[in-house]
Amino acid sequence: MAEGYGAATGRGRAGAEVVYSPAMLLLMGVVGVSFLGLGFVMPLRALYARDVGASSAEVGLMASAFLLTSFVAAPFVGWLADRFGYVTLLWTGLLFHAILVVSYIPVHSPAILIGLRGLEGVAAAAILPPARALVNSIAPRDRQAESLGLLSASQMGGMLAGPAVGSFMASQLGYTPSFVVAGAGMAIGAVACPILLARHEARSTRDDAYVALFSGALNRSLVFAYALKAAIMLPNGALMAIWSIYMQDRGASLLLIGLSYTTFALPMLVLSPLAGRVSDRHGRYWPLVWGLLALAIIYGAYGLELDPWLIVALSAVEGLVAPFSSAALDGLLADRTSASIRGRAQANYSAAGTAGSFVGATASGLLYALAPGAPFVAVGALYVVIALTLLLPWVSRLFATGQRFAQGG
C-alpha cells in the first residue's frame, strides 16, 4: 500500500559505529540517570496525594495540570532550543525538575500539589524534546529511528528499576526517601549534561530559524505526524491519572503496582533500538498499522476483570508491542524535519503527545467512574479506527518515499 519510507543504506560496521558514537552514549547515560530518578516517584504521586487528603477529582487535576502546562510550554521550549542550544535547555530542565520533585516533601495541601505538578509540566517540556533534537543532529539520516530508539531505551532503562524500587522504599520508609532519590537522579543528570555534552551542543545555524515559534513546523507532513502522536499518547494520560488506582482497585499491593511499571519498561528497554532498526530498514507504515491493531487488543483486555498478576503480565506484552508503533512514528517525524526546525518540530511533537495525554487523563477519570476498564476499552476502539484509517489510499500515500524533509525557517 505504502512504499517503505526512509530505507537506509550503508548499514555495515561503519554505520553501527556512527550510531553508537561517544556523543550518543553520553546522551543516553544522562537521560537514563535522570529517568531513573523520575521513575522512583512515577507510581507514587497519585497515592501520595490521596494520603494527604486529595479527592479523586484533585488527583485528576494534578495530571491535567502537568499535561496542560507542558502543552503550553512546549512550543516556546522548542524556540529556545533552536536559538540557544539543545544541551543548554536539557540541563536547565533537569535542574528545574529536580527542585520541583523535592518540593513535594513538605507539602500537604492538594491545591499546592496541583500547582507543583503544573510546574513539573514546564520542566518536563525542556527535557525530552531537546534531547531528541540533539539525537537528530548527532545520528545519521538513515538511522534516525534506531537512534531515537536508543534514547527511548535509555529512558526505559532508567524507569525499569525506578518504580519498583521507589514503591518498595515508600512501603518500608514512607514517601520522603523516594522523592529525595528522584530529585538526586535528575540533579546528577543536570550536572553531567553540560560537563559531558557541551562539545556536542547544537542549535539552528540559520539566522531566520527562530523568527517565529511555528515557522516551517506546521506543514502537512508534520501536522500528520503530530496528530498521530496525539492519538497514540491517549493511554499515557490514563496511565498518569488512573493506573495506580486501577491496580489498587483490582487488589494489587503497592509493590505490585510498581512492578507493573517495570514489566512494561523492560521489553521497551530491550526492543526500542530493534524496533527503530526495523522501521529504518522496512519503512514506517506497516509497523505502525500492525502495532496499533495489536495494542488495541491489549487495551481491550485491560477492560476485563483480571487478576492483578495477569495485568502485570499483560503490561509486559504491551511493552513488547509498543516500541514498534512508536519507533515508526518517531522515524516519520525525523524523516520530514529539516535541520533548522528540529527543536520546534520535536517540541510541537511533544506538545501533540501531551495534548493526547491530557485528553486521555481527563476522559479516563470520567470513564473510570462508569467502569474501571472503560478507559482502556475506549482507547482500544480508537486505535482500531486509526489503523483502519491508515489503510485508506490517500492516507497511506503520506508515508510514500519522496517527501523527505520539511522546509524550515
Residue 120 sits in a domain whose CATH number is: 1.20.1250.20
Q: How high is the pLDDT of residue 401?
A: 53
Determine, yes or no, domain membership for 303.
Answer: yes
* Mean predicted confidence (pLDDT) in 369-377: 89
Domain that holds residue 218: 13-399
At residue 218 the predicted structure's pLDDT band, cuts being 50, 70 and 90, is: low
Strand partners, 337: 406
Determine, yes or no, domain membership for 24.
Answer: yes
SS3 content of the chain, % helix, strand, coil (to 5): 80, 0, 20
Determine, yes or no, domain membership for 332.
Answer: yes
Residue carrying C-alpha cell 502485570: 312
State the total domains in the chain: 1
pLDDT at 159 over 80: no
> Lowest mean pLDDT: which of 82-96, 162-176, 293-307?
162-176
- Most confident region among 9-13, 130-134, 361-365 by mean pLDDT: 130-134
Determine, yes or no, domain membership for 209.
Answer: yes
Distance, in Å, from the CA atom of 2 to the CA atom of 287, rounded to the nearest integer, reads: 12
Distance, in Å, from the CA atom of 120 to the CA atom of 70, rounded to the nearest integer, reads: 8
Determine, yes or no, domain membership for 348.
Answer: yes
At residue 363 the predicted structure's pLDDT band, cuts being 50, 70 and 90, is: confident
Determine, yes or no, domain membership for 118.
Answer: yes
> Lowest mean pLDDT: which of 40-44, 175-179, 182-186?
40-44
Determine, yes or no, domain membership for 404.
Answer: no
**Of residues 376 and 138, more confidently modeled:** 376
Encode pLDDT of 179-200 as tens digits.
898 888 889 888 888 888 877 6
Q: pTM higher than 0.85, yes or no?
A: no
DSSP-derived 3-state class of residue 337:
strand
Determine, yes or no, domain membership for 300.
Answer: yes
User: What is the 8-class DSSP label of residue 339?
Assistant: G
At residue 203 the predicted structure's pLDDT band, cuts being 50, 70 and 90, is: low
Query: Identity (one letter) of the amino acid at 258?
Result: G
- Cα-atom radius of gyration of the chain, to the nearest Å? 20
Residue carrying C-alpha cell 520539511: 406
